[in-house]
Chain A
Amino acid sequence: MWETFGFEFVNFYLIPGLVLGCIYALGAIGITLTFSILRFANFAHGEVMMIGAYFTWTAMVLSNDLFGVPLHPLVAAAPAVLLAIGLFILVDRYFYKPFRYASTIRVVMASFGMMLIIRSFVQAVWGPNQLTFVPGIAKPNELVKNFTASVDMMILVPNKHFWIIAGTLVIMFALSWLLTKTKIGKGMRAVSDSPELAKVSGIDVEIIVKATWFVGGFCAVAAGVFLAMDLQMLETTMGFRMLLPMFAAAILGGIGRPFGAVIGGLVIGLAEELSVYPWFGNGSLISPGYKTGVAFTIMVVMLVIRPSGLFKGRLF
């Protein structure tokens, strides 16, 4: 049983789907928070992922060239996260803040412009070509391999996937703690619930806005670094290609529902990978070329039958 079906299904479809789902989930958290707290669909969100990955790559290269110390991507991501968040808080202060009380469509268009600015900036600095992120063949995690082999269900999780799944879990727990146990996190949920009431409750909305960029930016950079680890390379369009599935995940989970976005991300990641599994006969269910259509289809179906998402999010 395991040899004929399970091994292939788990290792080549389920785990890659889960990994992709983690990346979508982390990206979708920022989208759903910006949508519900700052009230606009941020088209530049994919670029936060992308530039965070480029910062991380730069930290790895600098460390290796200057000190001869090769850093693990997750270590190099620490300064990159801070740099990216700092950058986007400045972008908010000087670029988005003047639009704070403008109509939504203006901010959305502004974010579209910001998307192009960032991508062009990255192309100018790092060049338009792909860069190698981590060279070499991904080795399976020995711990998982030995343990699962001992119960005759060998699972070969590449180390990079192991880190991506573990890292996502850690971030989820931290996020859950932040949103339910801290004053700033509860304030974020309050502003997302009702900005008018937040204002007349004396909640400092500008602090909440900064916290939103911080949390959304942190998760986005993590998603970008995880994506670069998975693909083992960087390119300037990597964030943009994530945008549609991330929006689909946010809508599926319900706007303003960070944990809905996580579930949405996992569902879409899994659906994309499992859609090419040979469920009937030998060929894959749908041609791999149509894989990216899966997220789009789920998003459209959801908007038609249940626009508030799985977890009763906000409607605009």
Chain B
Amino acid sequence: MSNTKALDIVNLHAGYGETEILKGINLNVEHSEIVAIIGPNGAGKSTVVKSVLGLLNIISGNISLNGNNIVGIAPDKAIKSGISYVPQTHNIFPNLTITENLEMGAWTKSKGIPERIQEMFELFPDLKVKRNKVAGSLSGGQRQMVAMAKALMVDSKIMLLDEPTAGLSPKFQSEIFRTIKRINKNGVPILLVEQNAKQALETADRGYVLVDGSNKVEGKGQDLINDRNVARMFLGSKD
């Protein structure tokens, strides 16, 4: 176990149908890590995450979860094998209650569901009091909490978060980043896609910069923040 990675993507080429979007991605997540992917719009960040879930046509390359090859896996098998995926948009069922949303996250499980729901309510106390409210009635930040709790209902081997702070107020953004740290402390490796590059890199152990379907720069979170090129491209610095 010690030398296998939680997630290991090697020289991945993939796309939607015929069009190749990812042109050689190399990326890994260690068991204890939070890893961030940053990059401009349309770089292929969401596509990387979706390819792990089996939603893409994989042209070549390798994806392994805890050392097991998962290329060509069906999405329901990916979820069952312990991938907690929070999509960028449409990540809750708005007309289902919070509890029902969590139950849907546990569709592939048959045991331990009520216990897991209780654990989620401990992790997200705000959700507990509103558990019988429909998710569509919640604020943006709370919806994101539902989406994360729903994804964590499986026995998570890794969590994939696609821009969890997009469109949230700064207060909620910080809360989401704190929650991500807490989930990671509980032993879940995390791959985090973010527009909010600075806070993402501060939260993450390591980061990758993705441009036009391949990763250009990688390094420790703090090193990337200090990198002049990265700073100019993504962190809004002037020089």
Contact = CB atoms under 8 A, between A and B. Distances in A.
Contacts of B87: 196-197, 200
Contacts of A197: 87, 90-93
Contacts, number: 59
Contacts of A194: 90, 93-94
A150 interface: no
Listed residue (A186, A187, A201) with the most chain B CB atoms within 10 angstroms of its CB: A201
A186 B104 contact: yes
Contact of A193 (B80, B93, B150): B93
B108 interface: yes
A45 interface: no
Contacts of B104: 186-187, 190, 198, 201, 203
Q: Is the interface of B mostly helix, strand, loop or mixed?
A: loop
A203 B107 contact: yes
Interface string B78-96: 1110000101001111111
B76 interface: yes
Interface residues of A, number: 17
A194 B95 CA distance: 10
A190 B96 contact: yes
B90 A196 contact: yes
Contacts of A187: 104, 107
B55 interface: yes
A313 to B, nearest CB: 10
Contacts of A190: 93, 96, 100, 104
B74 to A, nearest CB: 9
A194 to B, nearest CB: 5
Given A197-B87, A197-B90, A204 B96 contact: no
B53 A189 contact: no
A201 B55 CA distance: 12
The 3 A-B residue pairs with the shortest CB-CB distance, nearest first, are A202-B79, A202-B108, A202-B76
10 contacts: A186-B100, A186-B104, A187-B104, A192-B95, A197-B87, A197-B90, A198-B104, A199-B75, A199-B76, A200-B53
